[in-house]
Amino acid sequence: MSDLKSRMPAEWRPEGRTLVLALALCAVVAATAYVCIVFPRDQGRIAPIWLANAWVVAALLRSPTRNWPLLVGFGALGDMAANVLAGDHLALSVGLAASNQIEIIACAWLVRWRCGPNFDIARVSHLLTFVVAAAIGPALSAAAAGVMLGLSGRQEILQGLMVWIEADALGLLTLTPALLVITQKGRPPIAWREIWTLAVLAVVSFLVFFVARYPLLFVVSAALTLPTWRMGLPGAVAGCAIIAVIGTVAAFTGHGPIMLTAPPDQIVGLQIFLMVSLLTSMPVAVAHDASEGLKARLQAALDEARAARIEAERSAAVKSEFLANMSHELRTPLTSVVGFTRLASEQRDLSPLSRDYIDRVGEASRALLCAVNDILDFSKLEAGQVTFRPEPVALQALTRTALDMFTPQAAAKDLALQLEDTTPTGLLVTLDPDRLRQVLLNLVGNAVKFTAQGKITLSVAYDTATERLAIEVRDTGPGIPPDRLDRLFKRFSQVDGSLNRGHGGTGLGLAICKGIVEAMGGEIAATSVVGEGSCFALSVPAPRAQGATADVAEERQPAVRTGVKVLVTDDHAANRELVRLFLAAIGAEITEAEDGEAAVRAAAEQTFDVILMDLRMPKLDGIGAVTQIRGAVGPNQATPILAFTADAESAFDDRLQALGFDGAVAKPVEPGRLISAILGAISSDDLDEEAARGVA
Ligand code: ADP
């Protein structure tokens, strides 16, 4: 025997769990069948619902087909035992059990064939297949039983074959889905909070079947919608089971609206009622479950999106911190390279070759600086970190200066620069002048860069009704092919890579322009005809400045003063040296400090006109030093202090002002800007003093 066992293929050997399932099935089928046979028979009736087969069908649908023979065999044993115990003839018992097995196998096989092993009663198509199978199976078994009963002379049962089909179908439709729902792996949890809906249904059913004097069956149907809608499939199945139990007990004890019909129709009436209840509530339940599933998936997708957004924000924060550091690390050495190259090129005794080399270094370092600035600008725009500071701006002065900046380059190429300005004279509008200038320099710069001959026109118009500013930059350059126009404002887009190698550039300029213009609430677009030229047009909201006069916004030329005492604080000796060299032009007296502590010491000893303060330094940083200088009762408590920084955040803002700074000088430092910032700080300080004296 053990030899035979060892030779059997592994999959033929039933697992322990399957054997236990088969034995349990045998017992439960026997018990259910016995109740369904004996109870109605004692009442002289036929069972309105046959539940025994439903157990086996559920077991088959949850098992691989190789286990089916065993499960069907044990189910049949239970069935036969129940019939024999109920007093039926052995041959009849075997025959009835056999016809039940036809029903079971037909139903389970149809479902497995159509829906596969992953049968899911909660899917509409699977549910419909099951309903059809639950009708075909009983019809086949009824036909087989009919033949048998006819042969055995049990004519009274033969007459009720329709009742048989309905009873079996009802059993399959109520109990099997319930078992499948309970044993469904990974099914959504049963909403136990909604269990009260079943209690309501039970009470309503009890009242309708046992208490009411009128045929109020429809009230039961209405009550069934409650658990169906609140609990989905488990609610519908449990609800139908409750109605079936209460209805059956009522029918056998002579209660309920069903009893109002004539005796042979009573069972059929009850069956039809149960069947209709099932067939209407189950699809509704499945639809409910599907919508709940969708809701759950939507929620999961929303949670995922939220998590992704948090992650994106986190990495954006990391990126901007990285950028701030990089901006510092890149701009600081560039400050020295650009500045010292300029100073070196101004030396008189240079050989032509040395001058050529120095010029090349200067050109390359300026290009590198432009690229670094572009990348930093673009990253800041992308991260939404660019702050806009609208202020009253004299538009005509701004556009004229922007165009004039390109006079040397245009003259070198024999290009004409033309300004068409139709704005009202002295017009003051509110916008961020630095950002608008940045866009203009980019557009005019491109036009000059790419145009070989002809002219560049900057046209400026103002619509007083809509308070919008319209600017166009037109050139007579090579033009841009239509298929490239839409990509123009995308980052790193260059129309002709080979052409650009000659001109340089990062391909970020227009993307930055678009970012700035859109952040200002405007729009920008390009039109072009290849061989004729291009036109870049932008329009931005520019409300008229309220209460300001033209003089306010005109750039104030600070009066040049010599002998200005400046404390330059920077941990890089090269930067201090650069400032010393640049400020030599106005005869400034420079004191150097290499960190915050040295600056505080120097500020305690002598009075300065201006203090230039680097922000990031070892020992004591700029903010700490300013706090101490402002806090101490010393000679420089009220001296103007300018932040001197290469940070991406170098622009002077409310934060710096609140910390005690009076302005900022951005690195890489430019001689003009440095001198005008120093003199500007002194002149406003002088004005303050004069005002103070006037008041006194
Ligand atoms: P870049 O730094 O390369 O100039 P931009 O974003 O400013 O980057 O420009 C992208 C590309 O668009 C340029 O490389 C060039 O090919 C094309 N382009 C921009 N302006 C003009 C123009 N006025 N005429 C022809 N081509 C232009």
pLDDT at site 179: 86
Indicate whether residue 528 lines ligand 1 (CB < 6 A): no
Indicate whether residue 450 lines ligand 1 (CB < 6 A): yes
Ligand 1 atom closest to the Cα of residue 506 is 2
Residue, of 462 and 261, whose pLDDT is higher: 462
Residue, of 691 and 187, whose pLDDT is higher: 187
| pLDDT tens per residue across span 3-47 | 444 444 444 455 788 888 999 999 999 999 988 888 777 666 667
Closest CA to 442 of 395, 379, 487, 506: 506
Our CA angle for 189, 195, 196, nearest 5°, is 155
Share of the chain above pLDDT 70, in %: 84
> Which residue, judged by its Cα, is nearest atom 25 of ligand 1?
479
* pLDDT above 50 (res 203): yes
pLDDT at site 146: 78
Q: What is the mean pLDDT of residues 110-128?
A: 88
| Residues 170 and 274: beta-carbon distance below 8 Å | yes
Residue in 488, 501, 508, 530 to alter for ligand 1 test, most ligand atoms within 8 A of Cβ:
488
Q: Which residue has the tokens 């990495």?
A: 315
Query: Which DSSP string corresponds to 245-304?
Result: HHHHHHHHTT-SGGGGS-HHHHHHHHHHHHHHHHHHHHHHHHHHHHHHHHHHHHHHHHHH
| Residues 288 and 232: beta-carbon distance below 8 Å | yes
**Axis crossing angle, helix 263-345 with helix 352-382, rounded to the nearest 10:** 160
| pLDDT tens per residue across span 227-253 | 988 888 888 888 988 998 898 888 777
Indicate whether residue 373 lines ligand 1 (CB < 6 A): no
Residue in 375, 476, 495 to alter for ligand 1 test, most ligand atoms within 8 A of Cβ:
495
pLDDT at site 692: 42
Partners of residue 430 on adjacent β-strands: 392
C-alpha dihedral, 239 to 245 to 250 to 251, nearest 10°: 110
* pLDDT above 60 (res 318): yes
| Ligand 1 centroid to residue 324 C-alpha, Å | 27
Closest CA to 96 of 45, 136, 36: 36
Indicate whether residue 507 lines ligand 1 (CB < 6 A): yes
At 411, the amino acid letter reads: A
> Which residue, judged by its Cα, is nearest atom 16 of ligand 1?
495
User: Alpha helices, DSSP H only, in 606-661?
Assistant: 622-631, 654-658
Ligand 1 atom closest to the Cα of residue 374 is 2
| Ligand 1 centroid to residue 507 C-alpha, Å | 7
> Which residue, judged by its Cα, is nearest atom 23 of ligand 1?
447
> Which residue, judged by its Cα, is nearest atom 20 of ligand 1?
446
| pLDDT tens per residue across span 551-561 | 444 444 444 45
Residue in 417, 494, 499, 527 to alter for ligand 1 test, most ligand atoms within 8 A of Cβ:
494
pLDDT at site 585: 63
Q: What is the mean pLDDT of residues 581-591?
A: 77
Q: What is the mean pLDDT of residues 310-319?
A: 83
Mean pLDDT of the chain: 81
| Ligand 1 centroid to residue 446 C-alpha, Å | 6
Q: Which residue has the tokens 């049963």?
A: 190
Residue 30, classified by CB atoms within 10 Å of its CB into exposed (0-12), middle (13-18) or buried (19+), is: buried
pTM: 0.47
Indicate whether residue 495 lines ligand 1 (CB < 6 A): yes
* pLDDT above 60 (res 549): no
